[in-house]
Amino acid sequence: MSSTLATSTHTATTHSSGQGSGSLPLAADLTVTVHTITQAATVTLIVTGVIAFYLLTCLIWPFGRCRRCNGAGKHKSPFGKAYRYCGRCQGSGMRVRIGRHVINYIRAARGAGTNTVSKGDKK
């Protein structure tokens, strides 16, 4: 049945003189466009959900392990058995996650926009 439909579609598109059956290719183009828009909307929804989930986890757990010292807070010296505190995390073993930086930036920008009038300037 699909080969009959494909043949009739091919015949209608190749032999049409611009009259009568010209709506068949338009319907096929519309179907492809709707399918593409649906795929784009689905991908956008999934990406938005993943970003929202990541920002939520950054809100709950703002710190991650330091990548330089692997969360230990100290390095072994290259010569000997001495340990030094990690310079990147200052010995805490933790770092602020990128998503938490984004949340802090959004909060600061929103706070700067709403608190523009000081108490002394009110009339």
Q: What is the reported pLDDT for 109?
A: 86
- 107 by DSSP, 3-state: which? helix
Per DSSP, 82 falls in state -
Q: What is the pLDDT of residues 22-71, one digit of tens each?
A: 556 777 777 778 788 899 999 999 999 999 999 999 999 999 999 989 99
Burial class from Cβ neighbours inside 10 Å (0-12, 13-18, 19+) for residue 63 reads middle
Query: At 78, is the pLDDT very low, low, confident or very high (cuts 50, 70, 90)?
Result: confident
| pLDDT at residue number 16 | 47
Asked whether residue 122 carries a pLDDT value surpassing 60, the answer given is no
Residues with Cβ within 8 Å of residue 99, at least 6 apart in sequence: 54, 55, 57, 58
